[in-house]
Structure 1
Amino acid sequence: MPRLLVVCLLLGLFIRPAAAFETAAEEAILIDLTAGTVLYEKNADLQIPPASMSKIMTAYMVFKRLKAGDLSLDDTFLVSEKAWRKGGSKMFVEVGDRVAVRDLLRGVIVQSGNDASIVLAEGIAGSEAAFADMMNREAEELGLRDSYFANATGWPDPAHRMSVRDLATVASVLVQDYPEYYGFYSETEFTWHEIRQSNRNPLLYRNIGADGLKTGHTEEAGYCLTASALRGDRRLVMVVAGLDSARQRAEESERLLEWGFREFTAERLFETGEVVEEADIWLGQSETVPLVVTEDTIMSLRRDARDDVVMTVSYDGPIPAPVVAGDRLATLIVEVPNMPTREFPLVAGGDVERLGPIGRLMAGVRHLIFGEL
């Protein structure tokens, strides 16, 4: 039958809710990427016009092909008349030119160029519409539940929608899975055809650890920003949307990130391979087997936490032998007041062979007479 082993964390932690955070953003989310924890959310699953923030998905489509070797930064794409004529933010590519992927990426990321986005889309998929279809298929694979792409630019379209949670998900994937290309997002300026443009991300200039990602603005969307910042070994990812001005966007974004770094800390509860508990074994040459974590177990906790963190080890026990090292046997459940419950897999830390026939017989007799396992 299932057996629950309750182990109280011996870190002297007590959780008191920090003062509630309020933001002028209509939609917002803040994630501690190091600990995989949502620290704050407001209307996080509402489908909204993402404006140019959806170019993060456009860049993701390119990064994925670069990493797979299907595309090179030195490859060049032809600039179509459609791309050249596109309004809004521009890289100022010229129709008929062939432009390298590395420059087009800077045009998209640093300059928010709609023209550069379309050149990439047409070069990869043949047309912007076909590229949007590819984006939607990729969104399903990424688990984006509240996103639909009608174009590669974020140009206003009634169907083109994302949630701030989905934006944070894509941003997190770029940070974690594509570090070799993520550096484009920290570049503060890019010059093309002797036209120098500065990165519109205001946090890059504020010395707070920010190193990406993308602003957005349309009349319907308001002023928006998807950003990430790294301090020491902690990384936060944030999205705000629906703000009234560029100044408010900068101030609210910085305030939310500062709050996340100040009020929370990422605590390493167990290191990879560390024993959490011993599980009982039935008919094994050892009576127990160590349960170990498969990766560093990190939780985001409020800095003023004390005494209320509870860890529970759950498994069906006793576990019948034989057991092979690495077998998934149990789950570590970590509960913290006012924070999402986290679950981590626990595996066997060693092999346990099954008892021979005589050993099994004796164990059965002891169980019948004394109730021993």
Structure 2
Amino acid sequence: MAVPALAQLSPLPTPTGPLVAGPSIVVDAQTGEVLHQRDAGAPFYPASITKLMTLYLLFEDLKAGRIGLQDKIGFSDYAYNQQPSKLVLPRGYQITVEQAILALILRSANDVAVAVGERLSGSETAFAERMTSTARRLSMTGSFFKNPSGWKDPEQMTTARDMALLAIALIRDFPQYYPYFNAHDVIINNVRIGHSVKFLDKYPGADGLKTGFLCSSGFNLVASATRDGRRLVGVVAGFRRADLRDEAAVRLFDEALRARTGGARPKVWQIDNTGSRPATVLSDSDCVPARYDYPGDGAWVGTFASVAAARQAHQAAQAKLAIAGRTWLGREWIVDVAMGKQRKFATIIADLEPGAAGQLCALYQSAKQFCQVMQPQQLVRPFQNLWR
């Protein structure tokens, strides 16, 4: 059967204008009734929403007693060298299983995802095979996994239908662990990591789950919210901007809550998966200049010779904000900058509240130190100008 091409999807009107949407679905989590669906069986690259399956298997082993929340997870060289987003911990550092859960949810850490897979199954390959077999057990017939992080692989794919089933399974099978998806922050190696699922802040009753992004996938979201005792699960995928993805999710959830249930509505497991090869949402040339997924202001506090020095600069900047009385300390963004044969790491405190970036830079400048406020539209690639 032909695979619907995401590039051919029609615009979906929103309060702020048209946007191009990929596959989407909203489901009543208790009954499985499909309240909205749009190409819900069409394949797409899952990106970091892959980590929902990684977490499902970790929760499964916790529930079975094969591992404990305070057990330690170490990092092989292979796990340590994963591409960002990751924790970038010192070599030899170990984290607890509970910290791993929160790092996967809050930071979407690729190094942690691989470390979890190796800890549970011995290798990334063996864990990926377990992921796919578990998908079949959950009736996720259109999902194939090659790694636990969601990093690019042309054979790793899913559908909105399948991800809705996975979200329902997480809520149903692991009520004791599901609250982790609504965690606000965690401190690992003296670094505070805050949540990045803005749907949690935008939508009353939202309590999870996970975002994902790859150039080829676009911005994706698997979300859940409860209103008046009724829980909905929704999946939206293939957006070219994170804010439009979140806006579309809010609208679809509102419409689904107003929808009448019963009658001839299909169940989520009755939706057919319709193909085997996802379409590409953004080519590398289209994606490179795209704005990063932080709509707030940023403060660039310097560029450093190592990741460790860049992270120390981030911690120092957060401390300055805390002393200044700011409750929201922004998000760490370490940007790998290359010019010629030189490689350095720019430290940006991203997604700050209005006025916070200016206040932080004023503190630096009063001490005759470098700091530059950056507007969201300035946070674009390439970053050759980030040198101080």
**1:199-223, Cα deviation, whole Å (9 max, x unpaired):** 1211111241110000001101001
**Residue 195 (structure 1) aligns with:** 191
Select 1:140's aligned residue among 136, 140, 162: 136
**Residue 216 (structure 1) aligns with:** 212
Partner amino acid, structure 2, of 1:106: L
Which structure 1 residue ranges, 5 or more long, are not aligned?
A: 1-19, 265-299, 302-335, 343-373
**1:252-274, Cα deviation, whole Å (9 max, x unpaired):** 1111111111233xxxxxxxxxx
Partner amino acid, structure 1, of 2:226: L
**1:74-112, Cα deviation, whole Å (9 max, x unpaired):** 111211121111112112333322211000111101110
**Residue 104 (structure 1) aligns with:** 100
SS of aligned partner of 2:172: helix
**Residue 266 (structure 2) aligns with:** 340
Select 2:61's aligned residue among 61, 65, 72: 65
Contact 1:31 1:40 in 2 (8 A): yes
**1:20-58, Cα deviation, whole Å (9 max, x unpaired):** 998742110100112320111111111210000010000
Contact 1:92 1:192 in 2 (8 A): no
Matched ranges for 1:205-354 at <5 A? 205-264=201-260, 300-301=261-262, 336=263, 339-340=265-266
Equivalenced residues, count: 253
SS of aligned partner of 1:180: coil
SS of aligned partner of 2:177: helix
**Residue 181 (structure 1) aligns with:** 177
Structure with greater helix share of residues:
2
Contact 1:29 1:40 in 2 (8 A): yes
Matched ranges for 1:26-45 at <5 A? 26-45=22-41
C-alpha displacement at 1:130, in angstroms? 1.1
Select 2:80's aligned residue among 71, 78, 84: 84
Contact 2:74 2:115 in 1 (8 A): yes
SS of aligned partner of 2:107: coil
Contact 2:205 2:227 in 1 (8 A): yes
Structure with greater strand share of residues:
1
Partner amino acid, structure 1, of 2:161: R
Instruction: State the percentage of identical aligned residues.
Output: 35
Partner amino acid, structure 2, of 1:233: G
**Residue 52 (structure 1) aligns with:** 48
Please give the root-mean-square deviation of Cα atoms over the aligned residues, in Å: 1.9
Which structure 2 residue ranges, 5 or more long, are not aligned?
A: 1-11, 269-388
1:166 aligns with 2:92: no
Contact 1:185 1:211 in 2 (8 A): yes
**Residue 122 (structure 1) aligns with:** 118
**1:230-255, Cα deviation, whole Å (9 max, x unpaired):** 11210000000001101101111111
Partner amino acid, structure 2, of 1:196: R
- Looking at structure 1, the residues matched to 125 and 267 of structure 2 have their Cα atoms a distance apart, in angstroms, of 41
